């Protein structure tokens, strides 16, 4: 199956949050996080949820660095979408190799939609012995379908209950590097 032409989709898509808004939200989040991690003797284990979390996680990590917060990096790749616009069962493609026993873990992901992926990832980190697991997401989708037991500790922006893409989120594996968040035309 051939992916739709991203240029055609962008021609009718709506910009939900522009780059300046997202950068300001990330700067605000970094301030909140720094306030909670500033006195830690050991850097938190900073885990990026791939692929979508990469642009956001990189920006947030740099902001935290400017505030004097050191991080130890690792990543995981767990997905329900695999290039589609709706989720299915969770597939683990890579798990972090860094030991988590007794560590503070900060997960960075692009979006909290219903929460299936983040809940599974958070529970896995806890099962690995993490002392504390916090979740930072660039966006939270506004609806009432979020599963019980998962929430973001740090949120950048809210997005409407529509299919969104850009700044890490994809449309048929396209558009992750767009510097804004877009919604498909209704």
Q: State pLDDT tens for residues 102-161.
A: 999 999 999 999 998 899 999 999 999 999 999 999 999 999 888 888 889 999 999 999
pTM reported for the whole predicted model? 0.92
Per-residue model confidence (pLDDT) at position 141: 96
3-state secondary structure of 64: helix
Q: What DSSP designation does 169 have?
A: B
Per-residue model confidence (pLDDT) at position 18: 98
> Of the given ranges (6-10, 21-25, 30-34, 142-146), which has the lowest mean pLDDT?
142-146
Alpha carbon of residue 163 to chain centroid: 16
CATH of 6-160, one of 3.40.50.2020, 3.40.50.720, 3.30.70.640, 3.10.28.10: 3.40.50.2020
pLDDT at 84 over 70: no
- E strands in 28-103: 45-50, 72-79, 91-94
- E strands in 80-159: 91-94, 104-112, 132-141, 154-159
Edge-to-edge strands, sheet with 72-79? 91-94, 72-79, 45-50, 104-112, 132-141, 154-159
């Amino acid at each position: 199956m051939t992916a739709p032409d991203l240029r055609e989709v962008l021609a009718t898509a709506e910009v939900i949050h522009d780059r300046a808004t997202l950068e300001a939200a990330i700067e605000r989040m970094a301030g909140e996080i720094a306030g909670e991690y500033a006195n830690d003797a050991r850097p938190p284990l900073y885990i990026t949820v791939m692929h979508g979390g990469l642009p956001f996680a990189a920006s947030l990590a740099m902001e935290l660095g400017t505030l004097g917060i050191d991080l130890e990096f690792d990543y995981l790749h767990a997905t329900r979408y695999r290039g589609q616009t709706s989720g299915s069962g969770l597939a683990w493609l890579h798990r972090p190799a860094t030991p988590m026993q007794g560590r503070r873990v900060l997960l960075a992901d692009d979006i909290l939609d219903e929460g299936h992926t983040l809940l599974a990832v958070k529970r896995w980190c806890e099962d690995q012995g993490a002392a504390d697991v916090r979740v930072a997401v660039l966006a939270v989708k506004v609806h009432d379908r979020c599963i019980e037991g998962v929430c973001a500790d740090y949120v950048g922006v809210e997005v409407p209950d529509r299919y969104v893409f850009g700044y890490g989120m994809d449309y048929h594996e396209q558009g992750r590097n767009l510097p804004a968040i877009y919604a498909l035309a209704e």
